[in-house]
Amino acid sequence: MSTTPPRPHPVPEGLPAAVRQALAVAEPRHGAHAGLTSDLTIDETLILHSIAWAPRDLVVGLSVQSVPSVIWSWGSGEIELASRAHARAFAHAVARLHAEAVAVGAHGVVGVHVERRILSSHIEVELVGTAVAPIDARPLPDAQVFVSDLPARDFALLFVAGWRPVALAVGASFTYAPRRAVGAALRQQTQNVELTNYTEALYSARATAMERMQRAALDAHGAGIVDVTVTEGPLHFAAHAIGFTAWGTVVTPTPNARSIDPITTVSLDDTVSAFDVASLA
Amino acid sequence: MSDAPKDLPEASERRLEEIEHGLFTSDLSVNEFLLVKEAGYHPLGLVMGSSIYHTGIQTRKWGESQELTKLTEAMYNARELAMTRMEEEASELGADGVVGVRLDVNYYEWGKDAAEFIAVGTAVKAEDGVSRRNALGKPFTSDLSGQDFWTLLRTGYLPQGLVMGTCVYHIAHRGLGQTLATTGQNVELPNFTQALYEARELAMTRMQDEASRLGAAGVVGARLEEKTHQWGSHTIEFLALGTAVTRTADEITLTPPVTIISLDH
Amino acid sequence: MSDDLPEAARDRLHGGAFTSGLSVADLAACHAMGLEPIGLVQGFCAMQWGYGPARMGFGSGGGLGMGLATGLAPNVASGGYVQNYQCPHGMVSAEHRQWGQNYEQTWIEQSWHDGYAAASHRMLEEATTLGAHGVVGVVDSVASLVEVGVVEFHLLGTAVVVTGLERPASPWATSLAGQRLAKLFEAGYAPVSTIAVVSSVRVWASCMTEYFMGSGAGLWSAPADSVEIDQLVSARTRARQLVRERARSQLQGDELHGVDLRVNEREPGPGDIDIEVQLRGNRVRRARPADPLAFPRPAVSLS
């Protein structure tokens, strides 16, 4: 540290010039992207730009399917009505999202957030994502417009490595867990014993749901499914029903496959350690 | 800052003496430790200060918006005492400053209306032997992490002190007549706007005044928080907090960052 | 300086040292961009929150619903989205709803708009007082700190000046700061303003909707298959469309980035659903044709 007076900060010349230039533009450019809305972060937008894609619009699709609440209580095997309602709720929501994407001339939808609620009386699905397309590209035939829950960053990384998303594949199965006979329940009260009725119901639901998801992927001519989200287990409103659902993005290779060739880094970051003002309560 | 007496307990004196013989303790992570060293500083020891403070009661007028100066003073003095004691410990070690300061408040069962205010941080000293103490001749304090400390120094700034401003404000209740007159309408309430606006401005002004006393060029990481404590919803503490910094003549050596796409989880 | 700001604000803004809500990393980025932080600025507005037009008389546990149930014509404030759903059954019983309705609560939307606009205007006024070019790192909160029925809009940001540039008529604003803002500029965009809009749609369920949602009396035997609840789907879809349309109408040819869509749904009473959708984002302007940055280097951290 010396005693010389502070001098103006030297800064990389390019950036401040770019800042001044950008801020000097007083009028909006009424170009192709006028009125564009996107929920991508600036990072995601720039990653898309770097592969010559751009967001087109924020798109939404939702559906609410009513199911008679009596179906959850009694029966055996699969609760077909519930599985069908779940499939329809997704199908309608995806179709509406897809239609909005087609309407803005997008080639696909990335970063789809899936909000799904299963209640005794209805099943709700809401999808929110960003429609994207290569910069200055023409619209694709409707059937080729994809829907994917992969974030824009993952989409770009796949793209660079020579893969592309095709569709969202969903599989679900709801199954009755048969009640144990009263005698069996009494006998087992003091024992350590596997509740085979639940185990079997869960196995059956899982097998059916995964099979449905895979079939959806094959129907979409995909090579595989990545980033599968699985939820399984009992339904809080129905003691004798079990649900298993899975969804993920179907991907397929493009002719431009290549290595992404990662570098290695060592990070000197810690998790944020600045103190929380809330602790001053 | 008050001229607090040298009132450190004996056990604390002994611990500090041991530290002076070379061993250092710090709650810095390895990453932070290496960055503090990289910035040209050496950690001396963990320093802390605390104060158990009883906050008095102040009567409020139902229909009047006003600052509760007694409570403001209590909240301010308690934190200030804890900070001053921590600075004393740091001075004892011959430190130039304290980094990674955390301010906490503990409530104990035995003390109604009493709270313990604690300040903990790591005392550091410049390795080149040139004093980096602040304008008041005391060790600088800051809540910056080791990473932020390194970045700040590379940007040509030096922390001067953790600065804060607080304001406990009572917001007037509305009279029945006023409430009725506006029922069913969605309109701005100028009295509320004015009172809440002013309370925040006062807290921010006080923080800036502290920074000015330190001769700081600015405050970074300023935050503004609202707390109702146990006073009921119409009495609110507004707390502004940040690190005062001053410009140095050092070279700015922060290189433009490289963009990467992380393949980690 | 206008008299919209309280005196305490005026006093503070004439103080010496700059104050910024920026982190150290953000401060470093500001210097790299040639932006100089000059002060923390805020804007605030407290709004009374009523129930809308007094003649509506709801909020008292279904005043509107009672009217609907007894076969009176639906009664809503003029303007905005309205959709009626008539009962297909005819008169069944006194409790049976003969009408269902979706309607936009335009008075709530208007108050929200006024409150946010006032807070935003005051923040920009503080920035103007400081002689700022823009405000970075804007955060907003909509809270109810003092009492129920009072909604407080608060915006907080850091005012900056741009070295070597003429001051604009009104400062620009963005919620971005630090490297993200630097990247925005590098990509050829300029920040314009922050945008926050809201839509509010109320659903008074028709007998069918209520039944499908599980709260109706068991008048019919269970249907053999699942059916879509059209009334609810329409209301939710419309609420989401409304915010997007409203945001787009404010863009005037610019783009909206980093949109955050938040949905609050309440059920004040059976078959009475209140849907509120908030949309926030940064209005940005493309200043020069797209000049993509290179694809970032994939990296694995060896921790």
**pLDDT tens, residue by residue, A56-110:** 999 999 999 998 888 887 778 899 999 999 999 999 999 999 999 999 999 999 9
Q: Higher pLDDT residue, B2 or B95?
A: B95
Closest CA to B83 of B117, B42, B35: B117
- A12: CB partners within 8 A, 6+ apart: B256, C32
The DSSP output letter for A274 is S
Q: What percent of chain B has pLDDT over 70?
A: 87
A126 vs chain C: nearest CA distance in angstroms?
10
Q: Higher pLDDT residue, B252 or C113?
A: C113
Instruction: Give residue C73's Cα distance to chain centre.
Output: 32
- In this structure, are strands B97-107 and B157-170 parallel, antiparallel, or unpaired? unpaired
pLDDT of residue A270: 66
**Cβ of B227 and A280 within 8 Å?**
yes
Amino acid at C176: L
Domains parsed from chain C with CATH numbers: 18-42+118-187 (3.30.110), 54-104+197-218+225-286 (no CATH)
pLDDT of residue C68: 42
A249 vs chain B: nearest CA distance in angstroms?
18
Q: How far is CA A96 from CA A90, A217, C237, in A?
A: 10, 20, 10
d(CA A82, CA A170): 14
Q: What are the backbone dihedrals phi and psi of residue C225, each rounded to the nearest 5 degrees, phi first?
A: -150, 170
CATH architecture for residues B12-178+187-247: 2-Layer Sandwich (3.30)
Closest CA to B192 of C122, C9, C44, C43: C44
Instruction: Enumerate chain B positions whose Cβ falls within 8 A of a Cβ in A.
Output: 29, 31-32, 34-35, 79, 100-105, 128, 130, 132, 143-148, 156, 221, 223, 225, 227, 229, 239, 241, 247-250, 252, 256, 260-261, 263
**Cβ of B147 and A5 within 8 Å?**
no
Any chains having at least 3 CB pairs less than 8 A from chain A are B, C
Rounded average pLDDT over A219-244? 88
Any chains having at least 3 CB pairs less than 8 A from chain C are A, B
Taking the Cβ of residue A181 and every Cβ of chain B, the question of whether any pair is shorter than 8 Å is answered with no
**Cβ of A273 and B100 within 8 Å?**
yes
Alpha helices per DSSP H over chain B:
10-20, 30-38, 69-92, 146-154, 176-182, 190-213
pLDDT of residue C221: 55
Q: Are C295 and A261 in contact (CB under 8 A)?
A: no
pLDDT of residue A89: 97
**Phi/psi class of residue A72: alpha, beta or left (left: φ > 0; alpha: ψ in -120 to 50)?**
alpha
CB pairs under 8 A between A and C: 215
Taking the Cβ of residue A256 and every Cβ of chain C, the question of whether any pair is shorter than 8 Å is answered with no
pLDDT of residue C62: 36
Domain positions in chain B are 12-178+187-247
Block residue for tokens 């011959």: B94
Query: In the predicted model, is pLDDT for residue B259 greater than 50?
Result: yes
User: Alpha-carbon Rg of chain A, whole angstroms?
Assistant: 26
DSSP secondary structure, B87-146, as one string: HHHHHHTT-SEEEEEEEEEEE-TT-TTEEEEEEEEEEEEETT------TTSS-EE----H
List the pLDDT tens digit at each of the 303 positions of chain C. 445 777 777 777 766 567 788 888 898 899 889 999 998 999 999 988 765 543 333 333 333 444 444 333 344 555 788 988 887 776 667 677 778 899 998 888 988 999 999 999 999 999 999 999 999 999 998 887 767 778 889 999 999 999 888 888 899 999 999 888 998 898 889 999 999 999 999 999 888 888 888 754 444 555 678 889 999 999 999 999 999 999 999 998 899 999 999 999 998 888 889 999 999 999 999 888 767 778 888 888 775
Taking the Cβ of residue A50 and every Cβ of chain C, the question of whether any pair is shorter than 8 Å is answered with yes
Most distant CA pair in chain B: distance in Å? 73
Closest partner CB to A281 (pick from B143, B221, B227): B227
d(CA B20, CA C42): 46
Block residue for tokens 């990389």: A12
pLDDT band per the 50, 70, 90 thresholds, residue A13:
low
Taking the Cβ of residue C62 and every Cβ of chain B, the question of whether any pair is shorter than 8 Å is answered with no
CATH number for A32-253 (one of 3.30.110.70, 3.50.50.60, 3.40.50.720, 3.30.1490.100): it is 3.30.110.70
Block residue for tokens 């070279």: B251
Q: Higher pLDDT residue, A251 or A181?
A: A251
Closest partner CB to A270 (pick from B31, B227, B252): B31
pLDDT of residue C5: 76
pLDDT of residue C88: 77
Q: What is the pLDDT of residues B186-213, one digit of tens each?
A: 788 888 888 888 999 999 999 999 999 9
Number of alpha helices (DSSP H) and beta strands (DSSP E) in chain C: 7, 12
Assembly ipTM: 0.83
Helix, strand, or coil (residue A204): helix
Chosen for mutation from A7, A19, A67, A113 (greatest number of chain C CBs closer than 10 Å) is A19
**B255-261 LR contacts (CB < 8 Å, sep 24+):** B256/A12, B256/A15, B256/C32, B257/C179, B258/C297, B259/C293, B259/C296, B259/C297, B260/A263, B260/A265, B260/C296, B260/C297, B260/C298, B260/C299, B261/A47, B261/A153, B261/A157, B261/C295, B261/C296, B261/C297, B261/C298, B261/C299
Any chains having at least 3 CB pairs less than 8 A from chain B are A, C
A160 vs chain B: nearest CA distance in angstroms?
12
Q: What is the pLDDT of residues A264-274, one digit of tens each?
A: 877 776 654 44
Identify the weakest region by mean pLDDT among A199-208, B49-58, C269-278. Answer: B49-58
Query: In the predicted model, is pLDDT for residue A40 greater than 70?
Result: yes
d(CA A196, CA C55): 61
Closest partner CB to A33 (pick from C184, C212, C286): C286
pLDDT of residue B111: 56
Q: Please identify among residues 26-55 of chain C the ones whose CB lies closer than 8 Å to any CB of chain B.
A: 27-28, 31-32, 37, 40, 42, 44-54
pLDDT band per the 50, 70, 90 thresholds, residue B61:
confident
Query: In the predicted model, is pLDDT for residue B185 greater than 60?
Result: yes
**Cβ of C34 and A12 within 8 Å?**
no
Query: In the predicted model, is pLDDT for residue B156 greater than 70?
Result: yes
The dihedral formed by the CA atoms of B179, B185, B190 and B191, expressed in degrees to the nearest 10:
10
CB pairs under 8 A between A and B: 73
Identify the weakest region by mean pLDDT among A7-11, A115-119, A213-217, B229-233. Answer: A7-11
Amino acid at A253: P
Amino acid at C44: F
**Cβ of A135 and C240 within 8 Å?**
no
Q: Which chain B residues touch A42 with a CB distance below 8 Å?
A: none
**Chain C residue at shortest CA distance from B223:** C21
Query: In the predicted model, is pLDDT for residue A31 greater than 70?
Result: no
Most distant CA pair in chain C: distance in Å? 76
Q: What share of chain C is helix, strand, coil (3-state, %, to 5)?
A: 30, 35, 35
Q: Higher pLDDT residue, A192 or A163?
A: A163
Q: What percent of chain B has pLDDT over 90?
A: 23
pLDDT of residue B60: 74
Chosen for mutation from A51, A157, A277, A279 (greatest number of chain B CBs closer than 10 Å) is A277
User: Alpha-carbon Rg of chain C, whole angstroms?
Assistant: 25
**Chain B residue at shortest CA distance from A272:** B145
Q: Higher pLDDT residue, B188 or A221?
A: A221
User: Alpha-carbon Rg of chain B, whole angstroms?
Assistant: 22
Block residue for tokens 């409570």: B71
pLDDT of residue A96: 97
Amino acid at C294: A
Query: In the predicted model, is pLDDT for residue B183 greater than 70?
Result: no
C17 vs chain B: nearest CA distance in angstroms?
5
Taking the Cβ of residue C176 and every Cβ of chain A, the question of whether any pair is shorter than 8 Å is answered with yes
C186 vs chain B: nearest CA distance in angstroms?
13
pLDDT of residue B230: 66
CB pairs under 8 A between B and C: 179
Q: Higher pLDDT residue, A8 or B122?
A: B122
Taking the Cβ of residue A238 and every Cβ of chain C, the question of whether any pair is shorter than 8 Å is answered with no
Query: In the predicted model, is pLDDT for residue A148 greater than 50?
Result: yes
**Cβ of C228 and A123 within 8 Å?**
no
pLDDT of residue A6: 40
**Cβ of C214 and A119 within 8 Å?**
yes
d(CA B248, CA B244): 13
